[in-house]
Amino acid sequence: MTDRSPRAALALVVTVTVVLSVVLSLLHLPSAVLFASLIGGMAHALTSRTVLELPAWSYRLAQGAIGVVIGAAVSLPALRRIGHDALPIGLVMVATLALSVAAGRLLALRRDVSPVTGVFSLIAGGASGVVAVARDLGADERVVTVVQYLRVLVVLLTMPVVTAVVFHPERGQGSLSAADAGLPRDLVFVVVSLALGSLLARLVRFPTAALLGPLAVAVALALSGRLGDVQVPTAVQYVAFALIGVQVGLRFTRASLAAITRMLPVVLALIVGMVVATALVGALLAWATPVDGLTAYLATTPGGLFAVLSTAADAGSDVTYVLAVQLCRLLVILALTPLLARWLSSRRG
């Protein structure tokens, strides 16, 4: 451990984050910037006694930006599909949530993992949103971050294999529609969503309001169509992920890193079990409804929303149905996280 000036510490964090972001992006790893910034924060925290803290408002701003990213994905066709197929989608959502809670409770059998941390580490869907609000809900955000993105990585590694080996789809049958609003309107969308959403968060005083407030405003703006097909500019997304990742990384200690490393075999086994269980849920969905097997599998896959949508489009499956199921699960999970955290904490007490 060395003494490092705050300026040198910040330079180290930024350098590691930028270099690793480029490398991981070239390797096509998911959430490259968040991973890189997490390691950037750890690079300083694990090698120096100097305390480096980012302003509290930067964390809330990053939470809000991630909420806007999620809100921009909501579309009228997806909402109509949710209304039309509410029963099967609801059953899938309940089954996935039950599997997540069960896996999290198994992880919490370890003495070094609380029930809240265990469940939010393995809850399926909305990894970036869950990571962003983990600390506010009383979970250990270091464990939640590592496990959530390990889950996403496992899903993204297994999904192409299962898709090719089990379903044999013809590639290149479709594509995702691109946004047409343009950068100026995208920036207006982000600024308005953050400003009004932050004001709403101050009025509501909900534990995850810093994320849900901007998300709600973003959904309203996106569905209104007044700004066209809006999205959050990539650079804004990168900054939000970097702010979340760095602040989580800076809270690591050598003891916490060792504890997380020891639990990884158990975590990996639980994640694989979840992937298999949700695939079985998808098989039941295909058996009980007119939905084809590939669409049902992609709709119930526990994570990696944008990669799942890209695979669905390329394979020619029902992208709107996949988006409806994944989006419904994501929004419901983010809305229920405070209640779930309170329930888990009361049971522990």
- Closest C-alpha to 137, from 339, 303, 331: 339
Burial 318-348 (b: 16+ CB within 10 A, else e): bbbbbbbbbbbbbbbbbeebbebbeebeeee
- Calculate the CA 43 to chain-centre distance: 23
Higher pLDDT among residues 175 and 127, named by residue: 127
Q: Which of 92, 1, 14 is nearest to 50 (CA)?
A: 1
Can you state the angle between helices 209-224 and 183-204, rounded to 10 degrees? 140
Neighbour-count burial of 248, counting CB atoms closer than 10 A to its CB (0-12 exposed, 13-18 middle, 19+ buried)? buried
Contact status, residue 292 vs residue 286, Cβ threshold 8 Å? yes
What is the per-residue pLDDT across 66-103, written as a single tens digit (0 to 9) for each? 888 888 878 788 788 778 888 888 888 899 889 999 99
Check if the beta carbon of residue 31 is closer than 8 Å to that of residue 149: yes
Tokens 């490393």 belong to 261
Q: What is the pLDDT of residue 197?
A: 92
Q: Is 265 helix (H, G, I), strand (E, B) or coil?
A: helix
Strand partners, 48: 2
pLDDT at 196 (0 to 100): 94
Task: Give percent of the chain above pLDDT 90.
Answer: 26
Does pTM top 0.85 for this prediction?
Answer: no
C-alpha span between 2 and 321 (Å, rounded): 53
User: What are the tens digits of pLDDT across the range 26-49?
Assistant: 887 667 888 889 899 999 999 988
Res 289 pLDDT > 90: no
Q: In this prediction, what percent of the chain has a pLDDT beyond 70? A: 93
CA distance 296 to 280: 10
Rg (CA), the chain: 20
Q: How far apart are CA 346 and CA 62, in angstroms?
A: 29
In whole angstroms, give the CA distance from residue 26 to residue 139: 32
310 burial class (0-12, 13-18, 19+ CB within 10 angstroms)? middle
> Which among 49, 47, 17 has a CA at the least distance from the CA of 33?
17
Three-point CA angle 157, 163, 169, nearest 5°: 145
| Angstrom distance (rounded) from CA 298 to CA 167 | 11
Helix (H, G, I), strand (E, B) or coil at 227: coil
The phi and psi torsions of 250 (rounded to 5 degrees) equal -70, -15
Helices 32-45, 234-249: inter-axial angle, 10-degree rounding? 30
Residue-wise pLDDT for 159-193, tens only, equals 878 888 888 887 655 555 555 567 888 999 999 99
pLDDT at site 207: 66
pLDDT at 269: 94
